[in-house]
Every structure is written in C-alpha cells, then in structure tokens.
Amino acid sequence: MKFSQRIGKSPSVKLVQHETIDEALMNSLWSVLMLVYFDNVKFEPHYYGISKHSSLTSLLTLLWLHYFKKPIDEIPHQFSITLKKLRVNFLTGEWYEQLDFLEACAKNGGEHQKKNLIDQCNHYFKLENSAYRFVNGELSEITSEVEIKSVEQATNVAGNYGGVREHLARALQLMNDRNSPDYRNSIKESISAVESLARVLSGDNKAALGQALKQIEKKGSLHPALKSAFSSLYGYTNDSSGIRHALSDGSTHEKSDARFMLVSCSAFVNYLIDLNGE
C-alpha cells in the first residue's frame, strides 16, 4: 500500500470503476470483441480479406458509417490491417470512447452475436467492479457519483477517526477482492466503522453502537429517527443468523448487500462528523 493510502490521503480501493476503465477490464473487453466477432473470420487460401456477404463485413460497414463516420471505401481490404486499426483505436481511446465502441458493436452486430457480446461484457463489468452495464442494449451507469464520493470522503478521514478509515478501507478490500470476496466480513467492517466513530463522539470507547448512539442523541446532536434507523441496521448485523455471528456454510451475502452497507455506513459517518462540527 502506498504512503498516501496508509495515511488516508487517497483510497486504496475504489468503490467502483467510475469514469475509468483499468487495464484489466480494458483487456477483457477487447478479448470479448475478439472472441465474439473478430476471431471468427475464415480466410480462403492466399486471400486475406473477408467475404463481402459475411456478418462481419456488415458490422464493419455499419461501424465505418455510423461510428467512425468514414467513407466505407476506406475500409482496408486486408482484414489484418482493419483489425490492427480497430485494436489501436480501442486500446488507446478514452474510457468513454471505449464504451461508445462497445455499444456500437452491440447495436450493429448480428442478433446472436449481439446477445453474446452483451452477456460477456456484463460479466466482466461485474467481475472488475465497473459502474457500467448493458441495459436493454445500451450502456448505463448503475452506481451514482454521489455514492462514490461519499465512500471516498469517509475513507479519507484522519486524526481521531483513524479507526473509521481503517474499517472502511478493509470493507472495500474485502468486497472487491476478485479472487475471494468476503461480503459478510465487509459488512461487519462497514458497521464497525460507524461503531468506532460513535465511540469517539460519545466519549465512551467501550460502548456498543446502540449505546453510543443513545449517548450522542442525548447530547442533542442526532435526530431520534436517524438513531432508530441506524440502530435497526445494527440489529440486522447482530441478528442470530446475521453478519457478526457465525454463519452456516450455506449462508451467503451478495455483493449488493455489502455495497449497500458500505455506502450507507459511509454516508452516516460523513453525516455524524459534519453534525458534530469536526
């Protein structure tokens, strides 16, 4: 972990890839394009073009017309040259240009190939924690910028709130681990961040979250309804079959649950800090 990350100046893990595509996701998306479209070209002996009647020819023609907006007679006769141009254009483009190109391929490809492309892209968008998905054939943002900024603000707190930062950073890491995500413990870390902050604000470093929130409420710095709402969330994590107790091997907690708790706890952390004039 970098120095700036250890002291909370920059988050070690992003909630999602928003307005960016990292190298791993970019390479996966290009590989999907290759597998769905460009690897399916069959060449005749001594011929390096593609059949004028193939579905790929139709796709390239539509891309030149509607995406690149170039004359179709500029499409190279040798497919290897065309593919090289497409590859360079995609891998060196801005994140939004890459998504534009994916969307153009999805809209202009054959029906079977289109579905395959969308399914594969959505798989990698989810795997690499991207904020974007194909919805009804068009790319849509599924995580708001407000949520992302809320999490980043909470993970950058310093001073007396170092414990808060550590819990939220750990929650992000557990949720986003590509090889072995741990959603249960991510949720535990998120609620522990609120508990850590509540202890600081209440002045009782041994209080459980419910008791600490009561003390903060008595000081007049927390609305009773908000205290009740977050106490209910805390109760969820302390339920006999919930997060902070041992679960049976068959119990699972989806990423959506972990993300909800991370965003909610981050927002509550920011709210309490602002409310107490810190």
Q: Tell me the residue range of the domain where 134 lies.
A: 23-141
Whether residue 4 lies inside any domain: the answer is no
Q: Are 138 and 11 spatial neighbours (Cβ–Cβ below 8 Å)?
A: no
- 157 and 263 share one domain: yes
Tell me what the mean pLDDT of segment 248-259 comes to: 66
pLDDT tens-digit map of 110-136? 888 889 999 999 999 988 989 999 987
pLDDT (tens digit per residue) in 5-54? 555 555 556 778 888 999 999 999 999 999 999 886 554 444 344 555 46
H or E segment and range at residue 60: helix 55-62
Co-location of 173 and 265 in the same domain: yes
Could you give the C-alpha distances from 111 to 50, 68, 107, 138, 236, in angstroms and in order? 20, 22, 9, 14, 45
Task: Tally the domains of the chain.
Answer: 2
Please identify, among 141, 157, 187, the residue that sits at the C-terminal boundary of a domain.
Answer: 141
pLDDT at 239 over 70: no
Please indicate, yes or no, if residue 2 is contained in any of the structural domains.
no
pTM for the full predicted model: 0.68
Residue 253, pLDDT score:
60
CB 117 within 8 A of CB 36: yes
What pLDDT is attached to residue 3?
58
207 shares a domain with 135: no
> What percentage of residues in the chain have a pLDDT greater than 70?
82
Q: Are residues 29 and 50 in the same domain?
A: yes
Give residue-wise pLDDT tens across range 166-201: 999 899 888 888 778 898 899 999 999 999 999 998
Determine the angle formed by the axes of helices 255-275 and 145-155, rounding to 10 degrees: 60
Q: Does 10 reside within a domain? A: no
196/116 same-domain check = no
The helices-and-strands tally (H runs, E runs) of the chain is: 12, 2
Q: Which of 21-35, 205-219, 233-247 reaches the highest mean pLDDT?
A: 21-35
Q: What is the dihedral of CA 63, 66, 67, 72, to 10 degrees?
A: 50
Flag whether 11 is in a domain. no
Q: Do 151 and 133 share a domain, yes or no?
A: no
DSSP letter assigned to residue 137: T
Are residues 177 and 137 part of one domain? no
% of the chain beyond a pLDDT of 90: 36
Whether 97 and 40 map to the same domain: the answer is yes
Does 264 lie in the same domain as 180?
yes
CATH number of the domain residue 219 falls in: 1.20.120
- What's the mean pLDDT in 213-221? 80
